[in-house]
Amino acid sequence: KRQDGAVAMEMQPLKSAEGGDTADGPGTRPRGGPKKEKSVLQAKLTQLAVQIGKAGLAMSAITVIILVLYFVIETFVVQGRPWVAECTPVYVQYWVKFFIIGVTVLVVAVPEGLPLAVTISLAYSVK
């Protein structure tokens, strides 16, 4: 007790993420113990997120392939330009741009698709 009559609070150990005390005691769960099970909605959301990630990766790869093929066909077949060794850095620069566009498609597709996954999962779970 302090002089003003208030009771001093005792320091309590912090709770860990699992909900048990951080100190080893009789009521704590071992670190290698069973984990919380996922709910049905969480499992569906995880599955949809993985599917959206795979679809985004496929679309970005398809985008890069189409851009490279379009460039090669347009430059060397339609315009009839020969491969010139001095122009190789320019060609590589175009291909790097195409790769950056593909990465951009992937980076934008996955976060934009996750809210859609939540909406679809909630709609199916309500039915």
- The per-residue pLDDT for range 24-42, each reduced to its tens digit, is 555 555 565 567 787 877 8
Q: Where are the domains of the chain?
A: 40-125
Sign of the dihedral through C-alpha 15, 18, 22, 26: positive
Rounded Cα distance, 119 and 127, in Å: 13
Sign of the dihedral through C-alpha 102, 103, 108, 109: positive
- The per-residue pLDDT for range 53-94, each reduced to its tens digit, is 898 899 999 999 999 999 999 999 999 889 889 989 999 999
Structure tokens at 21: 């005390």
Sign of the dihedral through C-alpha 30, 31, 34, 38: positive
Query: Full-prediction pTM beyond 0.75?
Result: no
